[in-house]
């Protein structure tokens, strides 16, 4: 279930199932859930009836019956296209769900009884609180917490990541997911979910769309569309007596065609598909949202609260700089640091080697061979004994003690350099060669590359970023400035995170945050968007409304952009749909009244061939535009970080102006194609 931006929006399998589903959705009980398209379906039934019983509304005449039949056919296709758009979005979700269902087998579980004996039962019989034993090569039967043992677990069935993950009891990485496989060793698990309510079950239900509820913004937009439909319906009803007074008898099918063209059918047909596709885009990004509301809330986020360690920084303190004491050449410190770290497998040791090589160290490894002294808590140092000298690196106190025992001198500026690194929030490692102190290695928690640019993108769209860290204020300020966040909370405790979220929410802002530990659960629950790590505790995942299967805390940045893209797509297509009506107005209204009122020809700026051609051209365009916009609804409008005012102006220019011009061109082209055919049919 990896994320692929370039993945096809439709496959042969989805196409086949979507076509079948489009016909199934014609059921009026289903159509009533989409009021706009339900009105179109009612119009289809009326026109179909008039085709065979034209006298019902005194619409008699052979040509008129044929016209009614053509209108009915176009309306039927319009409804079918709208159903197809929704079915395609659902089909993509169901295709993902089928992949997940392959993971969910009738797994057998080794339940541990109260007397310590083992009993093999079906995983479906496991209850919350049961303890099971899982050995190498066996599937984990249900979600749970490790209470004993250590094991490598293959989570590729859930995350798509091939590398096994080490899990053990205690801490924030004891949570396991049903459907994953134990690769080595064994673990005892306490089941934390009831049958049918595991994380995998929830994923399948959400991806299928079975539990998708309409979001508040979607409900509000649906209410607007229904209101517009009612307004146009009233206009159409009153238009009939006005036309009779003017000496024009408007056929019922023409009135229905006018109503269908003027009501917002384009967005009405695509609205549900846009919402489902938004969930789909998040899922393909390996994030599971517990509701569409969570995805939509991402688009409205004003403040982003992030942990420092593991999110903004790597979490490992890496060598950043060599600081020689007075009288020592930088090259001497660099080479000594390289030798002392030659066989050090810790992140600090490896990064020291990399920094030394980057600064030009060219020592021969063979010449520096000797016995490696591993780091220990008692000595607080490590190093290398070569044939010529003894090299050590470690805490300042430990190195000073060694040098004094060897009757060496402590440089006057050593304390100044050590204090300087400490004040910056780094870790100072002092390096010595025999009894001579050469200088300090500055270890710092490195900011992840590219975050400055990503935070700048968020700033452009008006999102404030706040970093939470347990470091002292000086260290927090240094990291915050380097990362480019807007604010920070130093010496932060779990309750401080909740307070920060409540403070932002009290100002009317929507807040998003990430977390993985049990102590993060209250803050994740308080935030409007809480993104929990799949590697984290069950408490964190239950409290959050999104779970990142890849356990990448920085992914919250992309999730926010996906939410923005969802709102932009819905707004852009709504603008396009309503703008379409202007051109349709100029196509149909002159066609209806031009025979009785010749002056109305002034409004026929497209110079359409005949009244019937104008009506049918507008109606055909109204139907065809829906499938043309399905790819855009599925993939989303191209997103660029910018302020809300600029975004509004851009969308009005592209989708507003485009929505007005596109129908003028489309309707005219359709008119040129069908006008000769209508003349042959005598319509």
Task: Tell me the Cα Rg of the chain.
Answer: 34
437 touches 430 (CB < 8 A): yes
Query: What is the C-alpha separation between 110 and 119, in angstroms, rounded?
Result: 6
The predicted model gives 511-527 an average pLDDT of: 83
- The reply to whether 246 sits in an annotated binding site is no
Give the predicted TM-score (pTM) of the model.
0.66
Determine the pLDDT at residue 106.
61
Higher-confidence residue: 269 or 494? 269
pLDDT digits (tens, 9 = 90+) for 407-437: 999 999 999 999 888 877 788 999 999 999 9
pLDDT digits (tens, 9 = 90+) for 79-134: 999 999 888 877 766 665 565 555 555 678 889 988 888 888 888 788 888 999 99
- The reply to whether 377 sits in an annotated binding site is yes
306 touches 312 (CB < 8 A): yes
- Tell me the pLDDT band of 578, cut-offs 50, 70 and 90: confident
The predicted model gives 269-283 an average pLDDT of: 78
Higher-confidence residue: 154 or 392? 392
- The reply to whether 302 sits in an annotated binding site is no
CB atoms inside a 10 Å sphere around CB 676:
11
Those residues whose C-beta lies under 8 Å from the C-beta of residue 678, and which sit 6 or more positions away, are: 609, 610, 612, 613, 616
Determine the pLDDT at residue 339.
92
Pure H helices in 122-251: 156-159, 199-208, 216-245
CB atoms inside a 10 Å sphere around CB 622:
28
Residue 508 included in any domain = yes
For residue 1, pLDDT over 50 is answered with no
The predicted model gives 517-531 an average pLDDT of: 84
Query: What is the set of active-site residues?
Result: 307
Question: Are 619 and 517 found together in one domain?
Answer: no
- The reply to whether 375 sits in an annotated binding site is yes
Residue 189 included in any domain = no
pLDDT digits (tens, 9 = 90+) for 310-333: 678 876 678 989 999 999 999 999
DSSP state of 639: P
- The reply to whether 59 sits in an annotated binding site is no
89 touches 152 (CB < 8 A): no
Determine the pLDDT at residue 6.
41
- The reply to whether 520 sits in an annotated binding site is yes
Question: Are 442 and 334 found together in one domain?
Answer: yes
Query: What is the C-alpha separation between 122 and 600, in angstroms, rounded?
Result: 76
Question: Are 518 and 578 found together in one domain?
Answer: no
Choose the final residue of a domain: 402, 426, 446. Answer: 446
The predicted model gives 1-29 an average pLDDT of: 72
606 touches 671 (CB < 8 A): yes
- The reply to whether 382 sits in an annotated binding site is yes
- Tell me the pLDDT band of 4, cut-offs 50, 70 and 90: very low
For residue 211, pLDDT over 50 is answered with no
Question: Are 389 and 468 found together in one domain?
Answer: no
Residue 112 included in any domain = no
For residue 76, pLDDT over 90 is answered with yes
CATH of the domain at 295: 3.40.50.1000
Choose the final residue of a domain: 549, 573, 605. Answer: 549
pLDDT digits (tens, 9 = 90+) for 355-412: 999 999 888 777 677 889 888 777 889 999 998 899 999 989 999 999 999 999 999 9
Choose the final residue of a domain: 411, 428, 446. Answer: 446
CB atoms inside a 10 Å sphere around CB 9:
16
Question: Are 435 and 458 found together in one domain?
Answer: no
pLDDT digits (tens, 9 = 90+) for 52-61: 887 665 555 5
Query: What is the C-alpha separation between 632 and 569, in angstroms, rounded?
Result: 8
Phi then psi for residue 148, to 5 deg, are -160, 145
Higher-confidence residue: 173 or 668? 668
Long-range contacts of 395-403 (CB under 8 A, 24+ apart): 395/428, 395/429, 395/430, 396/428, 396/430, 396/440, 399/430, 399/431, 399/432, 399/437, 400/430, 400/437, 402/432, 403/432, 403/435, 403/436, 403/437
Determine the pLDDT at residue 5.
41
Question: Are 536 and 649 found together in one domain?
Answer: no
Higher-confidence residue: 241 or 437? 437
Domain that holds residue 363: 317-446
Question: Are 639 and 507 found together in one domain?
Answer: no
- The reply to whether 538 sits in an annotated binding site is no
Residue 428 included in any domain = yes
* Residue labelled with tokens 């310590």: 116
- The reply to whether 376 sits in an annotated binding site is yes
- The reply to whether 351 sits in an annotated binding site is no
The predicted model gives 611-626 an average pLDDT of: 90
Residue 101 included in any domain = no
Least Cα distance to 441 among 425, 424, 423, 417 occurs for 417
Question: Are 481 and 573 found together in one domain?
Answer: no
Determine the pLDDT at residue 296.
77
Question: Are 572 and 623 found together in one domain?
Answer: yes
pLDDT digits (tens, 9 = 90+) for 628-664: 998 888 888 887 777 767 877 888 888 988 888 999 9
Determine the pLDDT at residue 10.
67
Question: Are 366 and 513 found together in one domain?
Answer: no
Phi then psi for residue 257, to 5 deg, are -60, -40
- The reply to whether 610 sits in an annotated binding site is no
Determine the pLDDT at residue 309.
73
Query: What is the C-alpha separation between 217 and 118, in angstroms, rounded?
Result: 52
Question: Are 442 and 322 found together in one domain?
Answer: yes
- The reply to whether 516 sits in an annotated binding site is yes
Residue 7 included in any domain = no
CATH of the domain at 438: 3.40.1110.10
Residue 194 included in any domain = no
418 touches 520 (CB < 8 A): no
Determine the pLDDT at residue 3.
44
For residue 521, pLDDT over 90 is answered with no
613 touches 253 (CB < 8 A): no
Residue 465 included in any domain = yes
**CA quadruple 469, 473, 478, 483: dihedral sign:** positive
299 touches 564 (CB < 8 A): yes
Total structural domains within the chain = 3
Question: Are 413 and 478 found together in one domain?
Answer: no
Query: What is the C-alpha separation between 634 and 86, in angstroms, rounded?
Result: 10
């Amino acid at each position: 279930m990896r994320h692929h931006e370039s993945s096809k929006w439709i496959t042969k399998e989805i196409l086949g199932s979507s076509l079948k589903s489009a016909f199934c959705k014609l059921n009026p009980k289903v159509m009533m859930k989409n009021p706009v398209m339900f009105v179109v379906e009612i119009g289809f039934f009326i026109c179909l009836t008039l085709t065979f019983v034209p006298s019902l509304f005194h619409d008699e005449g052979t040509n008129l019956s044929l016209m009614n039949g053509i209108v009915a056919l176009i309306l039927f296709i319009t409804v079918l296209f709208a159903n197809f758009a929704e079915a395609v979005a659902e089909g993509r979700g169901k295709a993902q769900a089928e992949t997940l269902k392959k993971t969910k087998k009738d797994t057998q579980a080794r339940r541990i009884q109260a007397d310590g004996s083992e009993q093999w039962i079906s995983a479906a019989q496991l209850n919350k609180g049961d303890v099971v034993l899982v050995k190498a090569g066996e599937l984990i039967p249900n979600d749970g917490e490790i209470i004993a043992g250590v094991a490598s677990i293959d989570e590729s069935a859930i995350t798509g990541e091939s590398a096994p993950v080490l899990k053990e009891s205690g801490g924030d990485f004891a949570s396991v997911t049903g459907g994953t496989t134990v690769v080595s060793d064994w673990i005892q698990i306490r089941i934390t979910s009831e049958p049918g309510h595991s994380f995998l079950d929830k994923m399948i239900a959400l991806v299928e769309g079975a539990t998708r509820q309409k979001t508040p913004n979607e409900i509000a937009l649906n209410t607007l569309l229904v209101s517009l439909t009612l307004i146009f319906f009233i206009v159409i009803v009153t238009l009939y007596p006005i036309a009779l007074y003017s000496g024009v008898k408007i056929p019922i099918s023409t009135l229905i065609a006018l109503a269908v063209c003027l009501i917002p059918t384009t967005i009405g047909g695509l609205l549900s598909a846009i919402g489902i596709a938004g969930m789909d885009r998040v899922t393909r990004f390996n994030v599971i949202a517990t509701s569409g509301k969570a995805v939509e809330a991402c688009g409205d986020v004003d403040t982003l609260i992030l942990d420092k360690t593991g999110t903004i920084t790597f979490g490992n303190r890496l060598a950043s700089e060599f600081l020689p004491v007075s009288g020592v050449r930088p090259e001497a410190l660099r080479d000594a640091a390289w030798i002392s770290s030659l066989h050090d497998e810790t992140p600090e040791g490896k990064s020291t080697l990399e920094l030394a090589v980057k600064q030009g160290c060219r020592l021969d490894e063979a010449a520096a061979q000797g016995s490696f002294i591993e780091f220990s808590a008692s000595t607080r140092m490590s190093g290398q004994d070569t044939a010529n000298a003894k090299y050590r690196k470690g805490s300042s106190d430990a190195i000073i003690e060694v040098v004094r025992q060897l009757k060496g001198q402590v440089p006057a500026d050593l304390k100044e350099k050590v204090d300087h690194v400490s004040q910056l929030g780094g870790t100072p490692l002092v390096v010595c060669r025999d009894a001579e102190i050469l200088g300090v290695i500055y270890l710092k928690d490195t900011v992840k590359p590219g975050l400055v640019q990503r935070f700048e993108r968020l700033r452009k769209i008006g999102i404030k970023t706040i970093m939470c860290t347990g470091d002292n204020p000086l260290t927090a300020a240094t990291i915050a400035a380097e990362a480019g966040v807007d604010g920070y909370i130093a010496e932060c405790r779990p309750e401080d995170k909740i307070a920060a979220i409540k403070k932002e929410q009290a100002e009317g802002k929507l807040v998003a945050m990430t977390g993985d530990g049990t102590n993060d659960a209250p803050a994740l629950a308080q935030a409007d968007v809480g993104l929990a790590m799949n590697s984290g505790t069950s408490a964190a995942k239950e409290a959050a409304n999104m779970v990142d299967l890849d356990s990448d805390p920085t992914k919250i940045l992309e999730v926010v952009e996906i939410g923005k893209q969802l709102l932009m797509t819905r707004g852009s297509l709504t603008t396009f749909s309503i703008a379409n009506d202007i051109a349709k107005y100029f196509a149909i209204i002159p066609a209806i009244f031009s025979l009785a009122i010749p002056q109305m020809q002034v409004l026929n700026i497209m110079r359409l061939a005949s009244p019937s051609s104008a009506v049918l051209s507008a109606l055909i365009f109204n139907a065809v535009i829906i499938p043309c916009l399905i790819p855009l609804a599925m993939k989303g409008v191209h997103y660029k970080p910018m302020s809300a005012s600029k975004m509004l102006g851009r969308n009005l220019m592209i989708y507003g102006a485009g929505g007005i011009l596109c129908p003028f061109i489309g309707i005219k082209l359709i008119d040129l194609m069908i006008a000769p055919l209508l003349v042959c049919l005598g319509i």
